Amino acid sequence: MDKDAGRARVAGLAALDAEVAGCRRCPRLVAWREQTARDKVLRYRDETYWGRPVPGFGDPAARILIVGLAPAAHGGNRTGRIFTGDRSGDFLYRALFEDGLSSSAISQRRDDGLVLTDVRVSAVVHCAPPLNKPTTDERDACLPFLGRELALLADVQVIVALGAFGWDGALRALNDLGHEVPRPRPRFGHAAEARVGPYVVVGSFHPSQQNTFTGKLTAEMLGAVIARSRELAGLGPVRLAAL
Ligand code: SF4
């Protein structure tokens, strides 16, 4: 990528992120994210919550885009960075660090200096939803942001979809961008792969506490998906943790 194209992409993503962060399209989610930010939980009572939509985060030259469901009420909705400030995020960023894609195993807050390389993390829905369940209308309202993000991230080759919601959202966004989704529609599963246009969509169980505490998703399982995605994206299979 030449310098002018690189600058344009960075500017485009910054503009998109700012637009996302200022969005108030979904009344129920606006009310919930702001109420949660006011009420807080005891352990974070002294913190100022972000309380706004949480944009994607990572490398503008990413070859891998990770797509989750939505920010957590006291995670991303508190810290302002996606998958940051809760156990799901801790699990995900450790896997990225161990695969050489993150400068740290811990993502704490927006200004902690953490840098992602070759990967960006985003979500289908950018506002924290009650019970982690956005409505269909809310998903559809937010989905164009994911399509625009993908269109800007011209180096992305692999989309890691976290959970069935992330998988479905990724396929919908690709379809909306004009990429033909195979029929029958590829089904979500852990380590499932689907080729859609120039992309490979790779499924992973979501790193929710429900999945990680029960062992449905182990660090090894997520690490294997990330390593496979590195390989598909032409980044090689080497894991730092193995060095
Ligand atoms: S969920 Fe998406 S579309 Fe709805 S208010 Fe939040 S950022 Fe806007």
**pTM of the predicted protein model:** 0.96
Nearest CA to ligand 1 atom 4: 26
Cβ(200) – ligand 1 distance below 6 Å: no
Distance CA 190, CA 206 (A): 9
The alpha carbon of 73 and the centre of ligand 1 are apart by a number of angstroms equal to: 14
Q: Are 57 and 121 in contact (CB under 8 A)?
A: yes
The alpha carbon of 30 and the centre of ligand 1 are apart by a number of angstroms equal to: 8
Cβ(9) – ligand 1 distance below 6 Å: no
Q: Where are the beta strands (DSSP E) in the chain?
A: 57-58, 64-68, 119-123, 158-162, 193-196, 199-204
Total residues belonging to the chain: 243
The alpha carbon of 56 and the centre of ligand 1 are apart by a number of angstroms equal to: 13
Q: Tokens 């559809």 correspond to what residue?
A: 140
Q: Mind listing the pLDDT tens digit of every residue in the chain (243 residues)?
A: 788 889 999 999 999 999 999 999 999 999 999 999 999 999 999 999 999 999 999 999 999 999 999 999 999 999 999 999 999 999 999 999 999 999 999 999 999 999 999 999 999 999 999 999 999 999 999 999 999 999 999 999 999 999 999 999 999 999 999 999 999 999 999 999 999 999 999 999 999 999 999 999 999 999 999 999 999 999 976 655 544
Cβ(51) – ligand 1 distance below 6 Å: no
Cβ(166) – ligand 1 distance below 6 Å: no
Please give the domain boundaries of the chain with CATH numbers for all domains.
Answer: 3-242 (3.40.470.10)
